[in-house]
Structure 1
């Protein structure tokens, strides 16, 4: 006789990823491209004064997020599901 948890488990819907599996290589490519372009921009901006620090932060945060998600999608695209 199955328990209540086993019943709920068998009736639960199947997991569906936010980005479909065929789209993951494309999403990884786009995110990594954006991240690398922002990283290149970060290396050539003016780094003097408070305004320079604001520019650095404004470019570094999106670059970091884009590269992070890009690498996760790259791993998922090649079959290493994290």
Structure 2
């Protein structure tokens, strides 16, 4: 009886520990900064189409 594909992936990744792009110590700072930027940009957005690429899109990306 062979192991399941998920078990094979689990075993193959055992020698490669997960290393996040943003370290645990910096996650709060990065998250708070993005939230602050999103709030400022969404406050500057006044619902006109000419401001959409300047304020609306970057604000929604920062919120995301």
Same fold (TM over 0.5): yes
TM-score (norm 2): 0.72
Give the superposed CA RMSD. Answer: 2.1
Counting matched residue pairs gives 57
Hey, which bits of structure 1, 4+ residues long, moved more than 4 A?
A: none
Counterpart residue number, 1:57: 53
Report what 1:10 is aligned to.
14
The alignment's TM-score, normalised by the length of structure 1, stands at 0.58
Structure with the larger RCO, 1 or 2 (CA within 8 Å, 6+ apart): 1
- Deviation for aligned residue 1:7: 4.8
Unpaired runs of 5+ in structure 1?
A: 48-52, 69-82
Query: What displacement does 1:33 show?
Result: 0.6
- Give ranges in structure 2 of 5+ residues lacking alignment: none
